[in-house]
Amino acid sequence: MGAVSGALLYPDWPAPARVQAFCTTRDGGVSSGPWASLNLGERCGDDGENVRRNRSRLARRLPAGPLWLRQVHGTGVVRHGGCTEQEPEADGAVAFEPGRVCAVLTADCLPVFFCDRAGTRVAVAHAGWRGLAAGVLKSTVQALDEDPANLLAWLGPAIGPASYEVGADVVDAFTGGPGPGLAAAFKPSGDRWLLDLYAAARIMLAMAGVRAVHGGGLCTYRDPQRFYSFRRDGATGRMASVIWLD
């Protein structure tokens, strides 16, 4: 799944040594109340100064400030170093040069790390159900401009399949859209459905040609000590998943 060191969660995957990545947890910051304590999201109701201080703490562990995205649950992917906007509208980012930190924010949605086996390119995607159904993982794979067979992926903490109840509209968005086999990610729950984001991501990565997929199984909803969860708490903070090349 991943190794925890202090307030950080490190992916357990066979990435090359040049690839550096981690997910923050909710520990290690200055925010209080429902945002306690390392909230990194600017648009979730927390005090702006606290967010700035939290982001400053994160920056001390990075070679440079991250490229923050204006996430919209879509399929847009930007190249770090190839866009001029300070906060581009996108749900994924790729980098091909050392020191360029790609980042996404989550609080139940699934962060997905990518790298190639040679350690020359990295990416991270923000994959909630809307982005998954629309094809954000495929878009990220395409933006990496590498044979998918040469890519590795790692699935970070997200709301787990026992906790993520959705309606028939979500089922239709998956099973009526990107391809066959996605019904396997749903389990009936009365007149609703339980969605397994991890299973859906693995299916869609396989459809995109990525077979080496690691991680999965860390439920944000059921671990309030470590993780923010919007579905569980409503008002809550955001965690960051960051990746770069040394």
Q: What is the pLDDT along the chain (246 residues), one digit of tens a residue?
A: 676 556 899 999 999 999 999 999 999 999 999 999 999 999 999 999 999 999 999 999 999 999 999 999 999 999 999 888 899 999 999 999 999 999 999 999 999 999 999 999 999 999 999 999 999 999 999 999 999 999 999 999 999 999 999 999 999 999 875 456 899 999 999 999 999 999 999 999 999 999 999 999 999 999 999 999 999 999 999 999 999 999
Cβ pair 214, 12 in contact under 8 A: yes
Helix ranges (H only) for 60-196 are 129-134, 136-144, 168-175
Domains, the chain: 2-159+211-245 (3.60.140.10)
In angstroms, the CA 242 to CA 221 distance is: 21
The Cα–Cα gap between 73 and 76 comes to 9
The CA distances from residue 187 to 112, 129, 165, 218, in Å, are 23, 15, 9, 19
- The helix (H) or strand (E) run that includes residue 84 is none
Among residues 155, 156, 135, 133, the alpha carbon closest in space to that of 208 is found at: 135
Tokens of 230: 């919007």
Identity at 220, one-letter amino acid code: T
Structure tokens at 58: 């994160």
Q: What are the backbone dihedrals phi and psi of residue 100, each rounded to the nearest 5 degrees, phi first?
A: -95, 110
- CA 122 from centroid of its chain's CA atoms: 13
| Predicted confidence (pLDDT) per residue in 50-69, tens digit | 999 999 999 999 999 999 99
Tokens 């990075």 label which residue?
62
